[in-house]
A and B are shown apart, each in its own frame.
Chain A
Amino acid sequence: MKRPRRAFGLLALLAVLALIAAACSSSSEETTTTAAPAESTTTVAAPAGEGFTFGMILVGPENDHGWSQAHFEAGKYLEEKTGAKMISLDSVNPADRPETSVEQVVDDMVDQGAGLIFATSDDMKDGIEAAAAAHPDIPMIWSSGDSAWAEGEGYKADLTNLGNVMGRMYYGKMIAGCAAAMTSETGKIAYLGPLINDETRRLASSVYLGAQQCWETAGKDPADLNMEVNWIGFWFNIPGVTLDPTEVTNGFYDGGADVVISGIDTTEALVVAGQRAAAGESVWAIPYDFVGACSEAPEVCLGVPYFNWGPTYLGVLNSVLDGSYTAQFQWVGPDWADMNNPDTSMIGWVSGDALADDAAAAVDVFIAGLGDGSINPFVGPLNYQDGTPFLADGETGNDQQLWYMKQLLEGMEGASSAG
């Protein structure tokens, strides 16, 4: 059969190049081989976890300087503390791994001997619940979920092997809001949001409350503080599917905001701020999730609220090792005695190089107030965005009210749900 050979060859070449390019772009993330547990059997007695394997499923790249890396580092912390071995798989989401489901990954990990599985994304809800039902004898943790919370809306009483771990990041976000408000010259701050759900509304609102608190403490007019929220649609950029966080951040700065607080898993906001500052603009950013996130542009980084999953995950692993594991819902706060203690504090805050001394002092006062309870911005009267009451006058928000925030707060600009 005769065919248009030249067009055919060209097309074939294009298709192949596209395939290779696609493959290479995702392979540009450098992969680190999981460190084998210490082989120095001569010096130390075998730790409790020697011979035990746990699985760590990450939604994004393990070196994203954000959410996923924080979990990956926690896995390494567990290896170091117990001698257990981690098997991990990153970028587990339908866009990056179209032929792989969370259930299949769990099956694989169990096949390889994993006796505990961490599924570390809100996005893995359906998959990890199905996997927990399929492997009722394997303890599993769905991080940021509410499936084990008897008082929660998503409680799954029958999944007795599936626990939840989450940090009380609203503290970290309030501190971030305070740092933003103490730095902003224009009074316009902006929040780069991921997708919209209870968790992300909670965290965006926390930034606003923290900013308001410090702004007013500094004696400024509340009417002069504005906060805009824009959502990209997922936890990180997926070209063609989400909004591009780089563009959204640029849009914020173009619109007059001078501090952007990131709520997404990756560091685009900070990178953009660094570029614009290099061009002479007075802009700053606050990244999220990972203790080392400021390193991509320290000169514009006001600080980072981060998760330190290690200690809590260690508690889970130890309970599995000694046979006392039960599926619990754990919502863990900072260790106020030392927020940055890697062995005790779930939520940390590191002030960045760009945070001025007076602002840093105000942030420290705010942190101290949160720690001793003298400051609590989650006290009514507080209204939702549409004016309906969130907390009545004098009412202190309880865990259910904080976890299941149905809207952003009154005064915030941006969508509370999809339009």
Chain B
Amino acid sequence: MTRVRAAVPTLVALALALAVGVALLLVVGAPPLETFRLLVEGSFGSASKISATLLAWSPLLLASAGLVVTFAAGLWNIGVEGQVIMGGIAATWVARTVPGPGWVLIPLMVLAGAVGGLLWAVFAGVLKTHGNVHEIFGGLGLDFVAAGLATYLVIGPWKRAGVASTSGTDIFRPEAWMPEFQAFGVGWPVIPVILGLLSVLVVWMLLRGTLFGLRLKAVGSNPYSSFLLGIPTNRYMLGAFAIGGALAGIAGTVQVAAFHHKLVPAISGGYGFLGILVVLLAGFSAVWIAPIALFFVGISVGSTQLDLQLGLDSAFGGVLQGIIVLFVMFGGAWSVRRASGRLTPQEEP
């Protein structure tokens, strides 16, 4: 019963967000029902659409799962975007240099992506624990450095022969493409989806059923008390960065190996930032990441149809995502305020 009641503000918020979305559509003169139908059809309406949505879902899942860990440790790991990019860069390096068949190459690329993301995250972590640089600023700074590095590599050392363009590197050889599973006439991104779901499962178990998870949450709730109680706070924070970064880095591998099949400067696809919204909306819980992330990428993938069939700018998808998060946050804040409002008058006199 309390669970149902707790869900009420969220549902109200969703309804309000929907209403605002409809109002916006009416203002620009687009038919709301048709718009929503196209969003759904464009993301889940056919086998190839579902496959495309799942392919975008996987890196978002990985980035979001990693963020749950760092949020549990009380860390504002804003540097996911950079960690995804570094994972993509490391995986690209393997794809370009390591010979051998796919069954050697693909696991190595996943591993390299994890290491790339991990190192970048730990870098931000060390800046925090040992350099006293708040992780928001460290992470954001490292985002820009990673993006700059990707652009430099694409236009510099890894450029196509005779070309200097930020367009992208040469396409990987086929062995470095994550194999797809053929069914219903389309290729399915089975490996990325497994990696994504596995990451959620691992994070869920880690935080729920292990001593590490328990201590991590203690560090997140109150680092000082945890430290007094004998938990090596810094080590736990760095551990959280390492796990979060590794998962984000694997998202980068998925982006280069399963989607672009090359390195492009925009390799992160914005999934790092979108992941933050997903986790906020999920209330920091691993359980809700999967459906919420699916909902979000569904909007992203489906919104192409708005442009293609309705002449509506597909940025509407992004606007809708933003409105939803905004209203759910307000809903959350409102219910907290109402709950505390109920308590204070009784306590005060």
Question: What sequence of 0s and 1s flags, for each residue 42-70 of chain B, a beta carbon within 8 Å of any chain A beta carbon?
Answer: 00001010001000100000000000000
Q: A27-B319, A198-B162, A417-B162 are in contact. Are A19 and B329 (CB under 8 A)?
A: no
Contact of B266 among A24, A89, A98, A111 (CB under 8 A): A98
| Residue B222 is within 8 A (CB to CB) of chain A in the complex | yes
Chain A residues near B300 (CB-CB < 8 A) = 99
Q: Flag the segment in B97-105, B118-126, B193-201, B305-313 that touches A.
A: B305-313
Verify A196–B259 contact, CB threshold 8 A.
no
In the complex formed, the residue of A with least CB distance to B221 is: A2
Chain B residues near A20 (CB-CB < 8 A) = 318-319, 322-323, 326
Q: Bound state CA distance, A104 and B156, in angstroms?
A: 29
Verify A19–B313 contact, CB threshold 8 A.
no
| Residue B321 is within 8 A (CB to CB) of chain A in the complex | yes
Q: Bound state CA distance, A406 and B307, in angstroms?
A: 39
Verify B165–A195 contact, CB threshold 8 A.
yes
Chain A residues near B314 (CB-CB < 8 A) = 97
Verify B325–A1 contact, CB threshold 8 A.
no
| Residue B226 is within 8 A (CB to CB) of chain A in the complex | no
| Residue B27 is within 8 A (CB to CB) of chain A in the complex | no
Interface size class on chain A is: 35 or more
| Residue B264 is within 8 A (CB to CB) of chain A in the complex | yes
| Residue B246 is within 8 A (CB to CB) of chain A in the complex | no
Q: Which of B74, B300, B314, B329 has the most CB of A within 10 A?
A: B314
Contact of B166 among A17, A31, A107, A233 (CB under 8 A): A233
Chain A residues near B310 (CB-CB < 8 A) = 33
- Residues of chain B from 243 to 295 with CB closer than 8 A to chain A in the complex: 259-262, 264-271, 273-274, 276-277, 280, 284
In the complex formed, the residue of A with least CB distance to B311 is: A33
| Residue A379 is within 8 A (CB to CB) of chain B in the complex | no
Q: A98-B266, A195-B164, A240-B144 are in contact. Are A13 and B329 (CB under 8 A)?
A: yes
| Residue A151 is within 8 A (CB to CB) of chain B in the complex | no
| Residue A137 is within 8 A (CB to CB) of chain B in the complex | no
Verify A105–B304 contact, CB threshold 8 A.
yes
Verify A89–B308 contact, CB threshold 8 A.
yes
Verify A1–B155 contact, CB threshold 8 A.
no
Verify A15–B273 contact, CB threshold 8 A.
yes
| Residue B168 is within 8 A (CB to CB) of chain A in the complex | yes
B308 to chain A, nearest CB (A): 5
Verify B322–A23 contact, CB threshold 8 A.
yes
Verify B166–A241 contact, CB threshold 8 A.
yes
Verify A196–B163 contact, CB threshold 8 A.
yes
Contact of B217 among A1, A88, A419 (CB under 8 A): A1
Verify A94–B304 contact, CB threshold 8 A.
no
Q: Bound state CA distance, A384 and B40, in angstroms?
A: 55
B1 to chain A, nearest CB (A): 22
Contact of B280 among A2, A15, A17, A406 (CB under 8 A): A15
In the complex formed, the residue of A with least CB distance to B222 is: A2
Q: Bound state CA distance, A133 and B113, in angstroms?
A: 30
Chain A residues near B336 (CB-CB < 8 A) = 5
| Residue B202 is within 8 A (CB to CB) of chain A in the complex | no
| Residue A29 is within 8 A (CB to CB) of chain B in the complex | yes
Verify B164–A231 contact, CB threshold 8 A.
yes
Chain A residues near B165 (CB-CB < 8 A) = 123, 195-197, 233-234
- Residues of chain A from 328 to 363 with CB closer than 8 A to chain B in the complex: none
Verify A22–B318 contact, CB threshold 8 A.
yes
Verify A31–B304 contact, CB threshold 8 A.
no
Question: What sequence of 0s and 1s flags, for each residue 93-111 of chain A, a beta carbon within 8 Å of any chain B beta carbon?
Answer: 0110111110011011101
Verify A242–B166 contact, CB threshold 8 A.
yes
Chain A residues near B168 (CB-CB < 8 A) = 94, 126
Contact of A16 among B48, B52, B156, B329 (CB under 8 A): B329
How many A-B residue pairs lie within 8 Å, measured between CB atoms?
167
Q: A19-B321, A20-B319, A27-B313 are in contact. Are A94 and B164 (CB under 8 A)?
A: no
| Residue B86 is within 8 A (CB to CB) of chain A in the complex | no
| Residue A218 is within 8 A (CB to CB) of chain B in the complex | no
Main secondary structure of the interface of B (DSSP, over half): helix
Q: Number of B interface residues, CB 8 Å?
A: 70
| Residue B96 is within 8 A (CB to CB) of chain A in the complex | no
In the complex formed, the residue of A with least CB distance to B271 is: A98
A54 to chain B, nearest CB (A): 13
Contact of A240 among B147, B155, B159 (CB under 8 A): B147
Q: A1-B221, A94-B168 are in contact. Are A19 and B318 (CB under 8 A)?
A: yes
In the complex formed, the residue of B with least CB distance to A194 is: B165
Chain B residues near A98 (CB-CB < 8 A) = 266, 268-271
| Residue A415 is within 8 A (CB to CB) of chain B in the complex | yes
| Residue B297 is within 8 A (CB to CB) of chain A in the complex | yes
Q: A98-B270, A241-B166, A417-B164 are in contact. Are A16 and B305 (CB under 8 A)?
A: no
Contact of B171 among A32, A97, A107, A126 (CB under 8 A): A126
Verify B166–A238 contact, CB threshold 8 A.
yes
Q: Bound state CA distance, A324 and B262, in angstroms?
A: 36
| Residue B76 is within 8 A (CB to CB) of chain A in the complex | yes
Q: Bound state CA distance, A406 and B270, in angstroms?
A: 36
Contact of B315 among A27, A109, A126 (CB under 8 A): A27
| Residue A4 is within 8 A (CB to CB) of chain B in the complex | yes
In the complex formed, the residue of B with least CB distance to A1 is: B221
Chain B residues near A27 (CB-CB < 8 A) = 313, 315-316, 319
Question: What sequence of 0s and 1s flags, for each residue 285-315 of chain A, a beta carbon within 8 Å of any chain B beta carbon?
Answer: 0000000000000000000000000000000
- Residues of chain B from 305 to 349 with CB closer than 8 A to chain A in the complex: 305, 307-319, 321-323, 325-326, 329, 333, 336
Q: Bound state CA distance, A334 and B305, in angstroms?
A: 37
| Residue A278 is within 8 A (CB to CB) of chain B in the complex | no
Verify A197–B322 contact, CB threshold 8 A.
no
Q: Bound state CA distance, A18 and B326, in angstroms?
A: 11
B233 to chain A, nearest CB (A): 16
- Residues of chain B from 63 to 119 with CB closer than 8 A to chain A in the complex: 74, 76
Verify A418–B56 contact, CB threshold 8 A.
no
Q: Bound state CA distance, A370 and B171, in angstroms?
A: 40
9 nearest CB pairs, A to B: A23-B318, A195-B165, A418-B164, A33-B311, A98-B269, A27-B315, A196-B164, A20-B322, A19-B322
B residues neighboring A (CB under 8 Å): 46, 48, 52, 56, 74, 76, 136, 144, 147-148, 151, 155-156, 159, 162-168, 171, 217, 220-222, 259-262, 264-271, 273-274, 276-277, 280, 284, 297, 300-301, 304-305, 307-319, 321-323, 325-326, 329, 333, 336
Write 13 A-B pairs (CB below 8 A) sorted by A numbering.
A9-B333, A15-B277, A15-B280, A18-B273, A23-B318, A27-B315, A32-B311, A95-B265, A195-B164, A196-B164, A238-B266, A240-B144, A240-B151
A residues neighboring B (CB under 8 Å): 1-5, 7, 9, 11-13, 15-20, 22-24, 26-27, 29, 31-34, 87-90, 94-95, 97-101, 104-105, 107-109, 111-112, 122-123, 126, 195-198, 231, 233-234, 238, 240-242, 406, 415, 417-419
